[in-house]
Chains A and B, each alone.
Chain A
């Protein structure tokens, strides 16, 4: 194919949306329908790879779709941070679709056509967020993402799903309308522009008080980053089918949140200004508190998905914290953590789904001894846990390394301690699960031999993401390069 990079950029956003038509049209034939999704996913991934090469060669690609309000355009561009996000999301869309085939069919889920449609729309929105050139464009896709994932959260249609959906939509829409939108309008009022610009857009002498308040509005308003006290939607969203929890609520939606936080910190405020704001310290402690508290709550969850959800809240706290540290290493660590946590957490969710489908178990206390029947799943779970904890040989090591360096650079010793304690807590709440699975407390009870590994597509998917965790450890170079180039755009060289 010989498409221009501009066209590819647009197709990344449009193609998933068009795919919904294909999915609806082929709804009667499940194999064909999933074929459509997979080919779209592959194409989008191919486009993103091409764009990545374009970015490496220093090409400047941007697209304008015309303006909605005077001065507020829908426009897209590529830049390193967005590229990390787009690469992850498009790759994992493909993997998750494979996983879903195994999961949704053996779980006999209804309304699968609607499921795949909403999924595709959500991915289109994620691409829009990743490539957005200004806050306005980003906000539009951010909101549509919330709405398009609502039917996925409430997929089961039960009373519980309805409740979960209420919390999900309630918190995400409320925070985004009351805080995020207010922050955006204020930014527009103060700065006169919403375009992302390295070093920030507030100019050299902004009103520190006002801008500090705007920062608080942003951090609270980006509810998808799940900073306490606005984190409740994430556990509530766990009523969704597991593929949704894994791709959207471990990767796409939550990463859209922290991605936005990072983007705002680096390209709206700029880390130099961030350092001067009076609210930054407060928000840093809030992020630190989120990290610790969510870990503590995670320890008390017996439902595996709920535990993973709280773990996600905690890990998202890391990224927000890194963004607010206002240091180069912090930003590098945060952006790398977007990637490493994505692969780690999606593997864990894939495993949780596999256990649910194969063994019909969702409670951790019932999972003792499962290692014998589901060895592959449990090994994958173990490795992914290591990645979340941040120890070799998994990718999470690097991101946590840089985050720690970031806290040192910023001389935030308390936060450094928070990160280290939280890593210990990660061990406490994640590792016992695979350990118990292989070495149950009560060896004789590990009986039920009818349990087998999950369906093949699901198994393949979780193996791929698990291997990626290791690859990210052994070969972090490309990711690191992307992460460092976020700050080092031509002409503006920061720190180090």
Chain B
């Protein structure tokens, strides 16, 4: 009975829980409550994935109104995969939240933090779960608005500025998306994605549809921080509270990439996006430029949070390159990297949270001597970094393998070489952290510090272990990514 409502519960539970959370005055209670809610969404998404993998796409009609009149939730391989990533990462990161925000957010705002966190989670899950284009926009705004506020909760006053920057850019992005969806509606008279996909080909040659497509794509690219639209991201990540950074770095850009894939592959269709319009060339160029420029920028950062934020821009470049190959293999590489990158960046930013908790800074120069003082946390950063580089036995290697293979299968030899060259830059920026932590003595005026508390170490190491586990046993990620990309290409698996 309940099982058939799971697609909507996935979104409703956190959405309803957010205002409920407001009533819990005690920080620890609110934390526990959010953790349970997030855990529930994780369980739901696991069940959904299981169902989708065994019995195919789940269609849920909201309020019993059938599409295209009512809103429809469609859970196929791609959605359920994304839902699982988001809810899982959110839950693991919440484990550390209670300890982390103690030092980074004033006590009276703790409850707000959890409310916003849950809203943001609900928004992201909603974007992914829904089968309705306008619904996408609604949830996008829910998640974005809560994101702006979450970022502004940062201790550093610059977080206000970063949040404002993000607000402006994000709003432009959302507006563009809305314009895009509006134009689509104007031409087809429908907002249901399935319906849109059926009706768009009839009007595909019109200027309005081209404009709709362009608005939508640019809007989404702003959201996913594709080079050169990434400028809001480094500051937003660097000055937000650590937990928020870890959560967004691991999930929010993934949602934007989902939108990109969903709209170009399922709605506009491959031939419109890649043959009629030169999306392939544009994205390939921007992806590669993003990989190199952001990686080089990462090398010169003095703040480790900035460094990793630029690295995220570069990693998004890899996903976009895989996407632009526009074959099943390429899309599969992108989807794998989506999953793998969430694990890497989740682990790394959460470990940075632990560093922040102990030394109150994430400046590279303050990392001196941390290799000895916080050995377990630093070991996590090293493993996460190796995964970022793409060393075998980590998830990073799996993504790289598929991405290079996809490029070669497509005959793009130089691209394959460039992708690998890009990972050399990752060695450089990761090793700057390693050398700072292990080869320098701590400055004398710093108080001796202890290893991070268990509430940090446990979630950090859950993610680090996942980095290794899914680098060795790739059945889950590879199978689902394969099924998702095949179904997007309309190939029966």
**What residues of chain A have their CB less than 8 Å away from a CB belonging to chain B?**
66, 68-70, 139-140, 143-144, 147, 154, 157, 159, 161-162, 166, 169-170, 173-174, 177-178, 181-182, 185-186, 188-189
A210 closest partner in B (C-beta): B413
A139-B397 Cα distance, complex, nearest whole Å: 11
Q: How far is the CB of A220 from chain B (nearest CB, A)?
A: 12
Asked if A177 and B439 make an inter-chain contact with CB atoms under 8 angstroms apart, the answer reads no
Asked if A186 and B408 make an inter-chain contact with CB atoms under 8 angstroms apart, the answer reads yes
Report the interface size for chain B: residues with CB under 8 A from the other chain. 29
Asked if A178 and B405 make an inter-chain contact with CB atoms under 8 angstroms apart, the answer reads no
Asked if A170 and B427 make an inter-chain contact with CB atoms under 8 angstroms apart, the answer reads yes
Asked if A143 and B392 make an inter-chain contact with CB atoms under 8 angstroms apart, the answer reads yes
User: What DSSP secondary structure best describes chain A's contact surface?
Assistant: helix
Asked if B389 and A173 make an inter-chain contact with CB atoms under 8 angstroms apart, the answer reads yes
Asked if A181 and B391 make an inter-chain contact with CB atoms under 8 angstroms apart, the answer reads no
Q: How far is the CB of A369 from chain B (nearest CB, A)?
A: 38
**In the complex, chain B residues whose CB is within 8 Å of the CB of A139:** 392
**What residues of chain B have their CB less than 8 Å away from a CB belonging to chain A?**
386, 389-393, 398, 400-401, 404-405, 408-409, 416-417, 420-421, 423-424, 427, 431, 435, 438-439, 471-474, 478
A161-B391 Cα distance, complex, nearest whole Å: 23
Q: How far is the CB of B147 from chain A (nearest CB, A)?
A: 35
Partner of B439, one of A143, A157, A169, A189: A157
**In the complex, chain A residues whose CB is within 8 Å of the CB of B389:** 173, 177
A-B contact pairs, 14 of them (CB 8 A): A69-B474, A143-B391, A161-B439, A162-B435, A169-B431, A170-B427, A173-B389, A173-B427, A181-B401, A181-B420, A182-B416, A182-B420, A186-B408, A189-B409
**In the complex, chain B residues whose CB is within 8 Å of the CB of A154:** 438-439
Sorted from nearest, which 7 A-B pairs have the closest CB atoms? A140-B392, A178-B420, A162-B439, A185-B404, A143-B392, A189-B408, A174-B424
Asked if B417 and A69 make an inter-chain contact with CB atoms under 8 angstroms apart, the answer reads no
Asked if A68 and B408 make an inter-chain contact with CB atoms under 8 angstroms apart, the answer reads no
Q: How far is the CB of A156 from chain B (nearest CB, A)?
A: 10
**In the complex, chain B residues whose CB is within 8 Å of the CB of A170:** 427
Q: How far is the CB of A74 from chain B (nearest CB, A)?
A: 8
Asked if A177 and B405 make an inter-chain contact with CB atoms under 8 angstroms apart, the answer reads no
**In the complex, chain A residues whose CB is within 8 Å of the CB of B393:** 140, 144
Asked if B386 and A178 make an inter-chain contact with CB atoms under 8 angstroms apart, the answer reads no
Q: How far is the CB of B137 from chain A (nearest CB, A)?
A: 38
**In the complex, chain B residues whose CB is within 8 Å of the CB of A140:** 392-393
Asked if A69 and B435 make an inter-chain contact with CB atoms under 8 angstroms apart, the answer reads no
**In the complex, chain B residues whose CB is within 8 Å of the CB of A161:** 439
A147-B391, A173-B427 are known contacts; what are 16 more A-B pairs with Cβ within 8 Å? Answer: A68-B398, A68-B473, A69-B398, A69-B474, A144-B391, A144-B393, A157-B439, A166-B431, A169-B427, A174-B424, A177-B389, A177-B390, A177-B424, A177-B427, A181-B400, A189-B405
**In the complex, chain A residues whose CB is within 8 Å of the CB of B474:** 68-69
Most buried by B among A68, A170, A174, A177: A177
**In the complex, chain A residues whose CB is within 8 Å of the CB of B386:** 147
A12-B386 Cα distance, complex, nearest whole Å: 26
Asked if B421 and A178 make an inter-chain contact with CB atoms under 8 angstroms apart, the answer reads yes
**In the complex, chain A residues whose CB is within 8 Å of the CB of B423:** 177
A159-B440 Cα distance, complex, nearest whole Å: 9
A69-B400 Cα distance, complex, nearest whole Å: 12
Asked if B431 and A144 make an inter-chain contact with CB atoms under 8 angstroms apart, the answer reads no
Asked if A68 and B472 make an inter-chain contact with CB atoms under 8 angstroms apart, the answer reads yes
Most buried by B among A69, A144, A161, A169: A69
